[in-house]
Structure 1
Amino acid sequence: WLDLIGRKLIHSGELSRMVEEDGIRGVTANPAIFEKAIVETDEYDEQLGQLISQEKKPLDIYEAVAVDDVRAGCDLFRPLFDRLQGKDGFVSLEVSPYIARDTRATVEEAKRFWKLVDRSNLFIKIPANPEGIPAIREATAAGISVNITLIFSTKVYQQVIDAYFAGLEERVQKGQPISQIHSVASFFVSRVDTAVDKLLEQKGNKDLQGKIAVANAKEAYQIFLRSLETDKWKKLEAKGATRQRPLWASTGTKNPAYSDVLYVEPLIGKDTVNTMPLATLKTFNDHGKLAETVTKGADEARAQLAKLRETGIDIQQVC
């Protein structure tokens, strides 16, 4: 997927070209991405002028702009979504970060955005913080497809899986369908190395630098695989449930000393998504190697995480 959206990208035909030629199968976005899109083009000027003249509040203006772009993105990807029977072709819209500490407000905004955009190939992004976990369950139970964002630790990732399962179970208990509900769990990668490398540097440990983020993600994938073997999941799948796919986020390389495809090449595999910044996408298309890799080196990844603990760094606390 492409970690970018914007009116110019859509209206110019560039996003359609990327779908056809670069294999883009969805897009993710957040308020920072929308801010960049608005600042760097005049495509929004007319709408912004109208909204300002109506004395709309800043958050209402942002919402109007974001909803229009996300709806247009959903329409662009709808043929792909239909052709793949809902397996791809999604666009994400994030709930306001201002309500991230309020479970009830998060659920209500998720419901409102879901109704407002009114597209089957929409994901509502909800953060995986303590207040977000119950919101994930409630939104799923309400029939909303959720992209759970800001997952850094495997401990929280397990909570996200459990919340998705619980939401589906609630619908089953009520006799409601679950086959049209989709979910991805956005597990952040490069930022883990950014945080852990600083701690390793302080301890004089260079051996593990640049390795923990991928190891952490590979361990998360093993948790995903194990979740598919549980009786709980098998019962849900028999009712038509779709798998909550791991989505690798924050996959642009931030340390220039590391490979520019470090957070892409080792994490390719079945049922995974990688949402890439435009620069990373171009880099991977230029010289990246496409091969199933996410299950390889699982034991080595586990050993690296164990060595990290031996240094006195607890990744669950860092993340």
Structure 2
Amino acid sequence: MGALNQLEGFGQAVWLDFVDRKFLEAGGLQKLVDEDGLTGVTSNPSIFEKAMGHGDAYDSTLAAYDKEHAGAATIDRYEHLAIQDIKAAADTLKPVYDKLDAKDGYVSLEVSPYISDDTDATIAEAQKLWGMVDRPNLMIKIPGTLAGAPAIAATIAAGINVNVTLLFSLEAYQRVAEAYAMGLEERVKQGQPIDRIASVASFFVSRIDATIDKEIDARIEKGDAEADALKAVRGKVAIANAKMAYQWYLDFLKTDRWQALAAKGAQPQRLLWASTGVKDPAYPDTLYIDTLIGKDTVNTMPPKTMDAFRDHGTAAETITADIDGAKHTLAEAERLGLDLNGVTGKLVEEGVASFVKAFDDLLGAIAKKQPATA
């Protein structure tokens, strides 16, 4: 068994953070399922922008759509393309979903980044996309913003699986974990089943280190008196932050509130490690996989990171290792004034903004691909 396959033995699911028409049609996803034990796929506006905005892989499909839907809005043309890819990926993963009895085998599709601060619009779009894809192994991605939390609860209550995205802080994660429980509780009140409702909480890691390390490097360069202490926490804050989120998750599973839901068949909302591609070449390219392996977790990997772990990754339970060290790292980061709370708040805003820009670029590229008769 390869290193990726071995992760399953430690309770971690391998997902791919990538989707592309040519990749799907060439059987690339099926190969990962067959050979590496892949059980999920995530997409986002940036991924779709790279896939659809460049090259001609989608041109024939778009031309056929335009022929039948003359004058269609750009957003409708985009959704037609995206939903075809999501359906294809969901169908490839359906046997995994069936085999694992709805515990995995999911494909994620994001609501528009334009509505990240609009609860009602997010709920409506989640229901619209759910109906358009019409696959039980779809997860609708909703950002973990303040407006996103009640939308998550309502979407879960409606029986729709949710991938909560853009989580950076423990506080934001706690809020959406409780929103998931609230949605399940509402279903129970309605007399609806909850055993086949699934959710993941996508906790971003590498972006935290990239931001904090930049601050550390700037301070060291200026001759900061705490240079040694700053060096000691460089590249460790994101992992420590993730480990403490997992500790909170373990504690939440023990609560009476969760136990009551579990008794009715509720699935835990797994923590998903996102942004796991290493941005600093000084670090091992498998850093954010090697250090975050454990039960009921998911790691969604860009293709390059997945290739690296397959080649030289080490599978071992690490998410529960050296919790005291993680606490010390976070305490030191606070003492040194690295402002993790401020950084995570800023990263949410930047994450939404980057998806908005990618969506702008994507819709702009699709708009330029006008029908031949136009």
**After the TM superposition, which residues 26-175 of structure 1 pair with which residues of structure 2 at under 5 Å, given as runs?**
26-52=40-66, 54-175=70-191
- 1:193 aligns with one of 209, 221, 232: 209
- Choose which of 272, 289, 304 in structure 1 pairs with 2:329: 304
In the alignment, which residue of structure 2 is the partner of 1:213? 238
What's the offset of the Cα at 1:203? Answer: 3.1
Report if aligned partners of 2:103, 2:196 keep a CA contact under 8 Å in 1. Answer: no
Partner of 2:27: 13
Larger radius of gyration: 2
* Aligned CA distance change for structure 1 residues 150 and 74 (closer, same or farther; 3 Å): same
Q: Displacement of 1:21 after TM fit?
A: 0.8
Deviation at 1:52, TM superposition (A): 4.3
**Which residue pairs with 1:318 in the alignment?**
343
1:98-154 deviation digits (Å, cap 9, x = unpaired)? 111111000000011111111111000000011111111111111110000000001
3-state SS of the aligned residue for 2:139?
strand
Shift of 1:41: 4.5
- Give the equivalent residue in structure 2 for 1:241: 266
What SS is found at the alignment partner of 2:232? coil
Deviation at 1:216, TM superposition (A): 0.7
Following the alignment from structure 2 to structure 1, what is the Cα–Cα distance between the partners of residues 274 and 195? 25
> Which consecutive segments of 4 or more residues in structure 1 shift more than 3 A?
50-53
Please tell me the root mean square deviation across aligned C-alpha atoms, in Å. Answer: 1.1
**Secondary structure of the residue that 1:186 maps to in structure 2?**
strand
- TM-score (ref. length: structure 1): 0.97
Q: Does 1:268 align with 2:293?
A: yes
For 2:162, give the aligned amino acid.
V
- Gaps in structure 1 of 5+ consecutive residues: none
Provide the rounded CA distance (Å) in 1 between the counterparts of 2:117 and 2:81: 24
> Relative contact order: is structure 1 or structure 2 higher (C-alpha 8 Å, sep ≥ 6)?
2
- The answer on 1:253 being equivalent to 2:270 is no
Q: How many residues align?
A: 319
Look up the SS of the partner of 1:256 in the other structure: coil
Shift of 1:318: 1.3
1:119 partner amino acid? R
- Cα offset, 1:176, TM superposition: 1.4
Which one has the bigger helix percentage? 2
Name structure 2 gaps, 5 residues minimum: 1-14, 221-229, 345-374
